[in-house]
Structure 1
Amino acid sequence: MEDTEIKIARFSSCRGVAFEINPNRSNPFAIGSPPKQEERIGTWLWLPWTRTSSFKVLPQPHTISPTRSRTSSHFCDIDADDDGVELEFIAEFQDLEKQEKSNGVKVQKLLPKTDPPRSTSRLSIILLDQGFTMYKWLFLVCVTMNVVALALSAAGYFPYAKTNATLFSIGNILALTLCRSEAVLRVIFWLVVKAIGRPCVSLRLKTASTSFLQSLGGIHSGCGVSSIAWLVYSLVLTLGNREKTSSEIIGVACSILLLILLSSLAAFPLVRHLHHNVFERTHRFAGWMALILLWVFIILSSCYEPNSHTYDLTMSKLVKKQEFWFTLATTILIVIPWLCVRRVKVSVSAPSSHASIIKFEGGVKAGLLGRVSPSPLSEWHAFGIISDGEKEHMMLAGAVGDFTKSLISTPPKHLWVRTMHFAGLPYLVNLYQRVLLVATGSGICVFLSFLLQPSPADVCLIWVAKDIELNFGKEIRELVNKYSKEKVMVHDTAISGRPNVAEMSVNAAIRWNVEVVIVTSNPQGSRDVLRACKRAKIPAFGPIWDS
């Protein structure tokens, strides 16, 4: 056997785990550069989105088995147990040293020292490590406006608010419902895309609109806090003028306040993050009970006669109250999604123990998301929709919770769905002319439709995941392969190790000259990409925890 030396770049990822990239691998998902970007120096192949911190000389790649990392606890993650990866690598290297004597191959050992990776919890990233986001800004503006109005009312400078404190509380409830109404948001997103999704509209206006629309949750939570403040204020005023109301009205108002408080506490980030099912059920049922009691409150307060301490239940008095119309609008917005709930036949297949594919009849437009449930009153799960826009659509569900794991262990024949699909951040891809989509793990599902059907945007894709064909199946791989190879970069971390996704995204955005980057990953991955793009002055967006 001839002495052969093949040089393979080896460097450290963003979390300090050493790995290799071999551009000569036959696997179609091995990472590689477009021909125009390759720069060969001797036998080296330079990949422009990486920084080589050290190199080593290894024998022919067919003698090396790919390093496979452990399955992540979250299917969108690309992280693995760092010690395990390094030990596997060292074991492989020791095997190569043993082969050196028999094959006459020169092996150069250059293992750089790496700092241990920092362990950052998802909750700390969500709450503390994202900076002052648009979500927080909208929350602060909403609460500040309400606090100022309430203070002016208490000081006597806003008499209308003092006599209509309950109306302000109900108005905030209507506003927070509007920010969560999937029917309303679907129309708003469609109008925005139609109005400013044109080449002549400035990029600054488009990115500002994207940032605002994906952060409407800030208004939702801000109005929720404000409604509690106004209701407390109204109760204080009522108790101060006790002779003009009844005990029944005060009792109902106090019950509404307790239910809204319970619903808000259940939505507190710590509870929502650690006990999502508790949050969802409490938020839903406490909200429904509060709405029912709100109707009781509106009827009683509108028909109460303080002079005779009796109730005159006439419709003419009721319809003259602004509170009646606000409550009616809120009720309609809450009921609409439930009118679209159907139990439909599905086909569920599991390419691996880590993911399942749910198939439905009917095509769906790119960028829309859907909700499914095994029990509609207890839980709903949102997934990106993969569709060519024609006969069928499907959802890719990573096995990260009880429901998604049950899809693999006991595939259902039917599921409950909301036939009205809703718009989110992926839908706003249609605003732009050229977009880079960055996905890790099962996050690819929200972007695949843009590869399968015509779109106003010219999209490019980076997908980073483990064991792509093994975990996601041949069908998903083939869907990605249908798209132009010049616009897709797929990195299998089980073969090529973990890359610096943030740096890869910035370099790809510059190379492909995109207007904006949209990423879907775990909180830390999304944060890293967004920060890197911000430093490079590239507009970038990722779904936030409570968008």
Structure 2
Amino acid sequence: MGIFISLLIRGGSDAQRLGLITLANLFVAILMRQDHVINAFFNVFCVVPPSWPFAIRRLCARVYHIGGLHSGCATSGVVWLALLCGQATKEAVNGGVVAHASVPTVAISYSILLLLFGIFERVHRFFGWTSIILVWAQVVLLTNDYRRDQSLSHALVHSAPFWMLLVMTGSIVLPWLQLRKVSVRVEVLSEHAVRLYFTYSTPIPGSFVRLSVHPLKDWHSFATMAVPNEKGFSVVVSKATDAPSSIWVRGAPCFGVLRIVPLFRRIVLVATGSGIAPCAPHILEQRIPIRLLWTSPNVRETFGDRLVDEILGASPDAVVYDTRKHGKPDMVKLTLRLFNEFNAEAVCVISNQKLTEKLVYGLTSRGIPAFGPIWDS
């Protein structure tokens, strides 16, 4: 914002330069949502062995905050786009003999700005696709406006925005090229939950997949539950209303926050309800000592004896707290007690946004390394 305000006051940047800055922000925002880019970050930072100093491992564990680059750069891109619209309007109105933004460039720029301001969850994908198409038009128009005596093709090939936009488009298209319909085996756990089994892939613990019953409608992310030495994985779906025989998957299995678990020597996992799903692979793997705190109403009635027995078989000292019988506990106090008893190095929380943020803040403020999803988009 300091750079933005400085340019706003001093001027000196033309529409083409501001277009590059805008696109650079959107470039990072989009790449931070690309499966393979996310996995690459996690693989690099999580390769650190538990023998390394705790301060380094603790810092590396915050790799999942790369999602903040998505929301941060997207917001920054919109701010810079607003300045671009103002500068392009000024150039189009004033004209002159030197290169300047044309009226079509101004129209396209304002159209993109309106779309980005209007994006919300239900239309996120469609507005985003439309914006990318318009950005292509904007880049071509801006390049044409400032190309002087060069040919348009030569100017495009030698411009950074063209290549950034090419990579951006490829990163968006790639997961859809991996779109496929896969068979699924359904196990009804209760009236409130089902467990879906897949065999097309065996993800690493800490992964999630994107599933949908219709490829152009709602997509939902589910943590994978891979059983060690067995092919495939399963997911737990709460409040499921039907049991499909096949389902759509998009992209590759992608890492989430619990990919950081192997960075620590001993850890406490806190799960509420179906948050047990992403915790289960690490518990079953038994790669490091784990103490589990699982709170949920009617655990066995909701998730079935088989799943609960699997969890307790691998983690016999787990604390399973039935909130239907005992009410909601003081989660910060309870987690703190388990952390101290277990002599753990860190805590990972998988719950709803409100409780996750409360626990992470409550523990971190007491000097305990605590990690949980950050809901960054």
Gaps of 5+ in 2: none
Q: For 1:431 and 1:296, locate their aligned partners in 2 and report how far apart those are by CA, in whole Å.
A: 45
- Correspondence for 2:33 among 177, 180, 195: 180
- Correspondence for 1:420 among 252, 262, 265: 252
Could you say which residue in structure 1 is the equivalent of 2:67? 217
Structure 1's 288 and 419: CA in aligned 2 closer, same or farther, altered over 3 A?
closer
Q: Which residue identity is paired with 2:302? A: N
- Correspondence for 2:81 among 231, 237, 246: 231
* Equivalent residue pairs, number: 369
Superposition deviation, residue 483 in structure 1: 0.8
Could you say which residue in structure 2 is the equivalent of 1:396? 236
Determine if contact 2:174/2:251 at 8 Å carries over to the other structure: no
> Do structure 1's residue 364 and structure 2's residue 220 form an aligned pair?
no
Determine if contact 2:45/2:61 at 8 Å carries over to the other structure: no
Superposition deviation, residue 541 in structure 1: 1.6
> Do structure 1's residue 441 and structure 2's residue 273 form an aligned pair?
yes
Q: Which residue identity is paired with 2:28? A: A
Could you say which residue in structure 2 is the equivalent of 1:55? none
3-state SS of paired residue (2:197): strand
- Taking the TM superposition and a 5 Å limit, the aligned residue runs for 1:245-256 are 245-256=101-112
Could you say which residue in structure 2 is the equivalent of 1:373? 212
Could you say which residue in structure 2 is the equivalent of 1:63? none
CA RMSD of aligned residues (A): 2.3
- Correspondence for 2:294 among 433, 458, 463: 463
Determine if contact 2:70/2:376 at 8 Å carries over to the other structure: no
Q: Which residue identity is paired with 2:275? A: G
- Taking the TM superposition and a 5 Å limit, the aligned residue runs for 1:88-487 are 147-156=1-10, 159=12, 164-194=17-47, 196-200=48-52, 202-211=53-62, 213-242=63-92, 243=95, 244-263=100-119, 266=120, 279=121, 281-304=122-145, 314-361=152-199, 362-389=201-228, 390-399=230-239, 405-406=240-241, 410-455=242-287, 457-486=288-317
Could you say which residue in structure 2 is the equivalent of 1:516? 346
3-state SS of paired residue (2:252): coil
Structure 1's 162 and 238: CA in aligned 2 closer, same or farther, altered over 3 A?
closer
Superposition deviation, residue 504 in structure 1: 1.8
Determine if contact 1:464/1:490 at 8 Å carries over to the other structure: yes
TM-score, structure 2 normalization: 0.90
Structure 1's 305 and 228: CA in aligned 2 closer, same or farther, altered over 3 A?
closer
Q: For 2:146 and 2:139, locate their aligned partners in 1 and report how far apart those are by CA, in whole Å.
A: 14
Q: Which residue identity is paired with 1:343? A: K
Structure 1 stretch displaced more, 504-513 or 533-542: 533-542
Identity among equivalent positions (%) equals 28
Q: For 2:134 and 2:312, locate their aligned partners in 1 and report how far apart those are by CA, in whole Å.
A: 55
3-state SS of paired residue (2:295): strand
3-state SS of paired residue (1:544): coil
- Deviation readout 1:313-342 (Å, 9 max, x if unpaired): 642221111111121121122122212221
Q: Please tell me whether Structure 1 or Structure 2 has the larger radius of gyration of its CA atoms.
A: 1
Q: For 1:306 and 1:394, locate their aligned partners in 2 and report how far apart those are by CA, in whole Å.
A: 54
Q: Which residue identity is paired with 1:186? A: N
Determine if contact 2:206/2:255 at 8 Å carries over to the other structure: yes
Structure 1's 163 and 523: CA in aligned 2 closer, same or farther, altered over 3 A?
closer
Q: Which residue identity is paired with 2:10? A: G
Superposition deviation, residue 397 in structure 1: 1.2
Q: For 1:504 and 1:185, locate their aligned partners in 2 and report how far apart those are by CA, in whole Å.
A: 33
- Deviation readout 1:504-530 (Å, 9 max, x if unpaired): 211111111000011112234324433
Q: For 1:228 and 1:536, locate their aligned partners in 2 and report how far apart those are by CA, in whole Å.
A: 37
Q: For 2:337 and 2:346, locate their aligned partners in 1 and report how far apart those are by CA, in whole Å.
A: 13
3-state SS of paired residue (1:464): strand
Structure 1's 313 and 261: CA in aligned 2 closer, same or farther, altered over 3 A?
farther
Could you say which residue in structure 1 is the equivalent of 2:363? 533
3-state SS of paired residue (2:349): strand
> Quick check: which one's helix share is greater?
2
Superposition deviation, residue 381 in structure 1: 0.5
Structure 1's 163 and 307: CA in aligned 2 closer, same or farther, altered over 3 A?
closer
Q: For 1:184 and 1:306, locate their aligned partners in 2 and report how far apart those are by CA, in whole Å.
A: 33
Q: For 2:194 and 2:112, locate their aligned partners in 1 and report how far apart those are by CA, in whole Å.
A: 42
- Deviation readout 1:386-436 (Å, 9 max, x if unpaired): 11142121101111xxxxx32xxx311110012511111111112111111
Superposition deviation, residue 540 in structure 1: 1.1
Q: For 1:536 and 1:156, locate their aligned partners in 2 and report how far apart those are by CA, in whole Å.
A: 46
Structure 1's 516 and 328: CA in aligned 2 closer, same or farther, altered over 3 A?
same
Q: Which residue identity is paired with 1:246? A: S
Structure 1's 523 and 233: CA in aligned 2 closer, same or farther, altered over 3 A?
closer
Q: For 1:246 and 1:218, locate their aligned partners in 2 and report how far apart those are by CA, in whole Å.
A: 35
Q: For 2:146 and 2:304, locate their aligned partners in 1 and report how far apart those are by CA, in whole Å.
A: 69
